[in-house]
Structure formats: C-alpha cells, structure tokens
Amino acid sequence: MKEPQPPPADNPVNTGSSTTANGQRAPRFIVIGAGSRGNAYARAVKTTTPGVIHAVAEPHEFKRREFGRNYIWDADGSPIEGQEFSDWREWVQWETERRKKAGSAHEQATPLGVDGVFICTLDETHVEIIKAIAPLQLHILCEKPLALSLDDCLTVYRTLQPPRPQSTNQEPQSPATIFSIGHVLRYSPHNTLLRKLLLNDRAIGDIVSLEHTEPVGWWHFSHSYVRGNWRRATANGDGSLLTKSCHDIDFILWLLCSPTSLDGTQQPHFPRSISSAGSLTQFRRARKPVAAGDATNCLSCPAERDCTYSAVRIYKDRHLAKGHRTWPVDIVCPDIEDVYRAEGAAAAEEHLLSRLREDYDVRVQSDADVAARPWYGRCVYEADNNVCDDQVVTLAWDDEDVEPKRLAKTATFHMIAPTEKQCERRGRVYGTTGEIEYNSNAISIYDFASAKTTTIDVPRPPPERAESHGGGDYGLAGQYVNAVNAVMNKGLDVETAQARFIGCTLEEAVQSHAVVFAAEEARREERVVKWREWWEEKLKYSAAA
C-alpha cells in the first residue's frame, strides 16, 4: 500500500466547519436523485454513520423538498446556500464557482461544499454525471448498474483511473478518491456471514457448485420491468439481468471469484465460460386474457377485476387503500403524500387513478414518446416491454494455475418474475464435505461425515433496515462513509481505505458488470462465451476506439 497522502492543496473540499470535539469534521455528501434509492442511502447515512447529508439535486420539487426536510434541514427550516439544486448540472456549476471563490481573498465567506457524492439517478445518466464531476475529485458512490453498456463502463473506468505513468521508471499513481458501486448484496449481515462460512471457515470444504435464485415477485416485476422505467432493453445488453440482477451476478463472483483476503496480493479467479438462456415468456400479447378484448388500460378493461395484474388492484387496493403511500405508490405519483396531507384520502385516491388512466396510442404517438416515460396503468399484455422475465446464467471455472490454487466449480443463477417471494433470495452451495442452504432469513449447514444439520443464527438487522436488501443498503452506505471518513480524519490513504472498507476496486466493479454483458451476449447469440478471450477482445476494441 502507498503511504497516506494529504489532500491536494488546490482542492477546497476540506474547507469549512462542522468539526467535532476532537477536531475532526464530519464528511459531507450530496445526493443526486431523491428517489427511492437516494432516500435509502440518505436514511442510512443520517441514522448510522458519522457522515452528513449536506445537499440534494433533484428536478421534482416535492421530492426535493421532502428529501431536504427529512435529511438536511429541519422540518420547519429552509435550505441555506449550497444545499438545494433542481439539477445536478446546476450543482456542478455552483460547486465550480464556489471553489474559485474559496481560493480568493473572500475564502471565509465561501459556502460549504461536500466531500462525496451519492449518484442515485436513472441508469442512463450515470456516465454523464461521473464524467462531469470527475474533475472535482470527490468521493463517489454510484447506484447500480454503473452504465448500460460495456463501452460506457470502460469509459467510467478510464475517467476515474489515475493517469498512467509516462515511463516505466515512474511508479503508478494511487487513486485519489474512494469509489463504490451499489452492489448492496456484499454488505448485508446475512451475506457477509455466508461468505465467512464458505471462504474463511470452510464449513463445507472446497466449493463444488452454487445455485442462486432471485425471485423478483409477480407484481414487482410488472411494476418495474413491464410498466416502469426498466422495461426496455437496447442492443447494448441493458436488459433485466443488468438492471435488476447485476448485483446477484456480483454476489456470485464475490463468493467464487473475488480475492479471499484484502491484502492486495491475490487476483480474482474468473470463470472459464459463461452461458445463458432466457426470454420474455409471460408479459406479452399472446398471454392476454380473451375477456380483456382490445383494452390497453386497466381502468377501461372489462376484465380488470379478475386480472391478477390489474393496476387498480396493485396500487390502490393492495397499497393505497391500506394506508401505504410509499413505494410503489409514490413512484406512480411522487407527490401522493403532498396531496394526501393537503386534501385527504379521497383526493389522493383520485390523484392515483388519474395517473393510472394515462395511456398511449401507437397509431398517433411515436415510439420515442412512448419509451420516454413509464405507463403504470397500461395492460401488462399490451405494454412495450422487451426484457426477460425468466433467465438462467451458468458459469464454469477451471482450476486456478497459481498458488494458493482455487479449484474448478460451477454456478447457476436464476432470475424469475412470477413468484410469491419478492426479492427474497435463496440458494444452495455444494462442497466436498457438506452443503449450505440459505434464504433471506436463515443459513443451514449439512455435514456429510456426521449427517447432522446445523442452523446458523443469522444477524438480523432492525425492522427499519430489514427491507433495505437485508440491511445491505445500510452496510454499503456505512462502509462508503467510513472509507471517506478514514481518508479525511484518520490518515488512511485512499487505496488502503478502498480495500478495507469497500472491499472492491473500481476495476473489479467494471469486470463484474462485464460478466453480465457477456452473459447477455451469450443469451442473444445462443453460444458459450469464453471469458478470457472475450474480455481481452473487448479491451482491445475499447482501446482502439
């Protein structure tokens, strides 16, 4: 590891107050995007870390103000300069000007800035935002996926990597900032215990094979991947495997591929081959109930009351009527809480129904207009979705050819939409001395020699954290803030803090995404991808471009 380095003299990020009794200053962050993910991370930062949510950038006024009241300024207060922005570009411009002022004679009057960023916007915006803020040298946590194509992932990598040495005599530069990606499954108490059992305790000997399933949930899939923002894939490979399950693929790689220690000497053990099969099986016109006729919207459909996927039943009956005005209702109507407070329950219901009545006509509207927004009242069998609702990925490893050797193994991942369980992942790992079965609540170990099953007490997060990926949101946000705090206040260099707290480099995050793109390519082309050759070819092509 490199020796700790002081912050650059021309970087005004560390100016300002908010010091603690021992002279340390709490790390400050801006959240870009005040949706469900931005709120999840802000809640974690505020309640469990030494960090401070200092600012928000969000175009929707109600969401921005509600976010500010909850995490930044008091409910009866108002923002000070530098805490509220209607667009991330507005913040970048403001921060650039702030830094110019901080270097002038009026430095004492300069408003406070931030030390790090949470990027929680729509997937397609991540690359543009990262490229714009990279010159600011801020720490970054980006929600998954990093980008919607492998080329864009590699662009992010090149943007954030330190410049290469000009000559072989120069030592490579260390990273200047912390980078983290929203692969939350690495950070839940359940999964960190599972990894310890498998890799450190060797509870079932050598791993031979792993089976992992993500049951998306029948109405959850229809909400996000049939009617919502993630319903369309492009030729770049950004289907549901990427947008929904890239952290499941990362979870498998974390168990079977990532270095078993953080000492920096061991390299990832990548699979030999990757294959995949899957399709859009359920949510298409061929499965539309005959009784629905030509209806394209639930509120005008004669079969609505008998349809499992009725938007009225899902959003009104299942949620709003029972007092639930958060996700998914506030995704359909971001200002539903505001309407409820001001006008009452009946007005909130009518507001929801008016949004669900919105529909499109392909005879008069362009495909671009239809694709530009979600349509939550649209018939799931008449929607414009094209992403897989059932997909299987198979990974195979050879014996590693360096010491200490990690041995050959296989893994399968199954993403399935029509399930009772909603994102309650489950799996089984087969080893040379036993097997482990896990779900979201428990881990059990069967030992071949003793023929006994041992159930492990899984650390359970408090109820308010349990729905955040089993505490993974809190774990990820906490480790990111702790890494930034260690660099700012504890004299730790970035490279060491990245390894100790994040446990994943930028390069590993990009390669994890690349495995997803390889699986999608294998599915589309109905072939087996040989990882090493495929990855070298992609890197060569990217460098040439």
- Give start-end residues of each CATH 3.40.50.720 domain in the chain: 12-183+474-504
Rounded-to-integer distance, Cα 238 and Cα 18, Å: 42
Lowest mean pLDDT among 225-239, 296-310, 377-391: 225-239
What number of helices (H) and strands (E) belong to the chain?
19, 15
Rounded-to-integer distance, Cα 499 and Cα 502, Å: 6
CATH fourth-level superfamily of 206-283+387-431+508-544: Dihydrodipicolinate Reductase; domain 2 (3.30.360.10)
Looking at residue 297, the DSSP 8-state letter turns out to be B
Question: Pick from 451, 454, 475, 453: which is nearest to 465 by CA?
Answer: 475
3-state SS of 345-388? HHHHHHHHHHHHCCCCCCCCCCHHHHHCCCCCCECCCCCCCCCC
Mean pLDDT score of the chain: 90
pLDDT in tens, 161-182: 887 766 666 666 778 999 999 9
Rounded-to-integer distance, Cα 520 and Cα 401, Å: 28
Long-range pairs of 25-28 with CB within 8 A, sequence gap ≥ 24: 25/488, 25/489, 26/50, 26/51, 26/52, 26/485, 27/51, 27/52, 27/115, 27/116, 27/481, 27/484, 27/485, 27/488, 28/52, 28/53, 28/54, 28/55, 28/112, 28/113, 28/114, 28/115, 28/116
- Mean pLDDT in residue range 363-382: 96
CATH architecture of the domain with range 12-183+474-504? 3-Layer(aba) Sandwich (3.40)
- Give start-end residues of each CATH 3.30.360.10 domain in the chain: 206-283+387-431+508-544
CA of residue 112 relative to chain centroid, distance:
28
pLDDT in tens, 223-280: 999 999 999 987 666 799 999 999 999 999 999 998 877 666 778 899 999 999 999 9
| pLDDT for residue 18 is more than 60 | no
pLDDT in tens, 406-452: 899 999 999 999 999 999 999 999 999 999 999 988 999 999 999 99
pLDDT in tens, 232-243: 987 666 799 999
Asked if residues 451 and 440 have their Cβ atoms less than 8 Å apart, the reply is: no
What's the confidence (pLDDT) of residue 111? 87
pLDDT band at residue 461 using 50, 70 and 90 as cut-offs: low
Asked if residues 430 and 210 have their Cβ atoms less than 8 Å apart, the reply is: yes
**Rg, C-alpha atoms of the chain:** 24
- Mean pLDDT in residue range 515-521: 96
